[in-house]
Chains A and B, each alone.
Chain A
Amino acid sequence: MRLGYKIAARFLKSNLGQTFLIVLGIAIGVSVQIFIGSLIQGLQKSLIAKTIGNSPQITITSVTNDKKIKEYDQLVADIKSADSRIEKVSVADDNAAFLESGTNSQSILVRGFNIQDADAIYNFIGRLKEGTYPQNDNEIILGIDLKDEYNLALDDVVTLTTPAQKAVKCKIVGFYDLQVSSINKSWAITTLTTSQNMFETNNTVTSIEIQVSSASAFAADAIALKVSDTLNQSDLKVDNWKDANAQLLSGLQGQSISSLMIQVFVLISVVLGIASVLAITVMQKSKQIGILKAMGIKNSSTSYIFLFEGLILGFFGAALGILLGLGLAFSFTKFAVNADGTPVVALYISYPFIITSGFIAIAASVIASFIPALKSSKLNPIDIIRNN
């Protein structure tokens, strides 16, 4: 083994130009793999973050006639203990109402939250464009789109009329922008107490919203099932984002598969490249192998020479490829930027993925060197000596 390594290293060193070319070939394969992998993963992460990052992933609603959930404090406590991956739980009391401002009116969804809990999911405090968040009774915030449409301003008072024809005057304390126009136009966010008083809901809520840890976003369906089992109430319905976004998921899956295909083909071309170059090396070095065999080297030892060549080439190819791939990724995020300086596509640099790619390249190089290794072990010294 030791001798095999020594001879392999010497063979590679004696023809540095050729060695460098092979290493570069492997490196380019690895860097393309890392770049494409990071790109696709980055695309998927940003797509998922945009889709479900600031919204609940599991929603519990009631299937009773009045759609109301009672004794929700106990339910929230149960939900929090149902699964360790559940990070944020927030109750919401949602009711439709009419918003009247001067002569204009439109229907609106009044959402009563425990503001801090709901903010953990929706981040609307961070996305307030003006003013502050509702802290006292009869304070609401509206979307930025409504502000423009009705020419509203902070501290304006609007009238909300409930389906029971009860009119409540509310003060606008802020304008939010959740970056979805339909939400910006239709949600009036207020405190839970305000909503419960306004609609006389008797200390009930209409839904409980759950966000799981970002790493478990794709396990939302399993977690939802667990929550459903824990609560074990037939009048509660547990929904999760995966069921609601089947099309997005199949799109992501398609993307993952095509990314995998690209990576597999890159890998195949790297393997074929190494195998063919090493096969030529066996021809180049057949004289040396013949001499070594005449001197009594074992067939297995000559195989080690080529396996080690594969290992060395794979190692340096992977190392250089990782550097190239990271360089490519960083320059891509640095130079392909939007007007505001954020990258067009946020790459996701996953070190486990990069290290795995490196190891796959090394393994592929060693596998590719099996053919020449086998060939060298079959080489008969007499053929070399007889033919000079």
Chain B
Amino acid sequence: MGSILELKGINKIYGEEIKTQVLYDIDVSFEQGSFNSIIGQSGSGKSTLLNIMGTLDKPSTGDVYINGSNVKKLSGNQLAALRNKTMGFVFQFHYLLPEFTAIENVLMPYEIQYGKISSQIREKAEEYMKLVGLENVKDNLATKMSGGQQQRTAIARALINDPKIILADEPTGNLDSDSTENIYEMLRNINEKFGTTFIIITHDKRIAEKADRIIEIKDGRINMDLTR
């Protein structure tokens, strides 16, 4: 399988006057359909790396290739469209829109891209809600759900546009161990069922060990890259 996401010579420096370098010469690529985990201590630069992969943040130097094309050449709106179509995000703080119901949140990326919600896509969304075990609370407002439910809603939302890549930053960061286990089972199932590439930041060793590949970031550098 070819590489879907490739980083070449990524450096990231924050600050104008006092410069802090967060990432040093990162070269890494991910294969389509792989299940990857990134581990590292807090402040090691792994979240920054994930944001750069997701085109949310720009590297100070270096290039990001998604599906073989360099994102540097894309305009803001083209980047937004690329994010919408090829990537799904799951963040630690799940970031649902509190004004909308669970299923409306799930449908939001589709609505951003295509406008009108067809009955077909609504059925698909309901199927995903079933997949993440939330068919009973799909019409609840995002704020009226538990943390685990919100996180699973965020995962369903990340899936709705059939993205090639799902980027997840500590998706189970504030969940209990049972929920954590459930969510990882689910992500793994999705990976196998749809062939979606997963890149997951985690500090949970047990979870990291279940991935096909573990990358450890230390002080802004790749310290270990282990493929099973």
Contacts and interface: CB of A to CB of B under 8 A. Distances in A.
B115 A3 contact: yes
A74 B111 CA distance: 78
A41 B70 CA distance: 66
Given A288-B97, A385-B51, A388-B93, A296 B56 contact: no
B76 to A, nearest CB: 6
Contacts of B181: none
B112 interface: yes
A292 B97 contact: yes
A283 to B, nearest CB: 15
Contacts of B157: 295
Contacts of B76: 299
Interface in B92-142: 93, 95-100, 108-109, 111-113, 115-116
Contacts of B109: 295-296
B107 to A, nearest CB: 11
Contacts of B83: 294-296
A388 B98 CA distance: 15
B91 interface: yes
B221 to A, nearest CB: 21
Contact of B80 (A6, A14, A297): A297
A295 B112 contact: yes
B144 to A, nearest CB: 12
A386 B57 CA distance: 10
A388 B157 CA distance: 19
Interface in B79-95: 80-85, 89, 91, 93, 95
B41 to A, nearest CB: 17
Contacts of B223: none
Contact of B91 (A3, A11, A385): A385
Interface residues of B, number: 30
A297 B112 contact: yes
A382 B84 contact: no
A308 B81 CA distance: 23
B112 A382 contact: no
A39 B146 CA distance: 58
Contacts of B116: 2
Contacts of B113: 296
A166 interface: no
A299 B83 CA distance: 13
B95 A291 contact: yes
Given A298-B77, A382-B51, A385-B51, A14 B98 contact: yes
Contacts of A293: 80
A294 B111 contact: no
Nearest to B113: A296
Most chain B CB atoms below 10 A, which of A296, A298, A388: A296
Given A10-B99, A381-B56, A295 B89 contact: yes
A299 B79 CA distance: 11
Nearest to A3: B111
A346 B95 CA distance: 58
A382 B47 CA distance: 11
Given A292-B112, A382-B57, A14 B99 contact: yes
A194 interface: no
A301 interface: yes
Given A294-B89, A296-B80, A301-B112, A385 B97 contact: no
Range of interface residues on chain A? Answer: 20 to 34
Interface string A1-43: 0110011001101100000000000000000000000000000
Given A295-B84, A298-B80, A382-B56, A3 B112 contact: yes
Interface string A268-311: 00000000000000000001101111111111110000000000
Contact of B77 (A3, A294, A295, A299): A299
Nearest to A299: B76
A100 B115 CA distance: 93
A287 B97 CA distance: 9
A288 B94 CA distance: 12
Nearest to B95: A291
A294 B56 contact: yes
A382 B99 CA distance: 21
Interface string A130-173: 00000000000000000000000000000000000000000000
Nearest to B48: A386
B103 to A, nearest CB: 14
Contacts of A287: 95
A78 B56 CA distance: 81
B115 A292 contact: no
A296 B86 CA distance: 10
Most chain A CB atoms below 10 A, which of B51, B56, B83, B89: B56
Nearest to A291: B95
Interface string A71-87: 00000000000000000
Most chain A CB atoms below 10 A, which of B80, B82, B113: B80
Given A292-B108, A301-B112, A386 B51 contact: yes
Interface of B: 47, 51, 54, 56-57, 76-77, 80-85, 89, 91, 93, 95-100, 108-109, 111-113, 115-116, 157
17 contacts: A3-B111, A3-B112, A10-B99, A10-B100, A292-B108, A293-B80, A296-B80, A296-B84, A298-B77, A299-B77, A382-B56, A382-B57, A385-B91, A385-B95, A386-B47, A386-B51, A388-B93
Given A295-B112, A385-B51, 5 more contacts: A10-B100, A296-B84, A298-B77, A298-B81, A301-B112
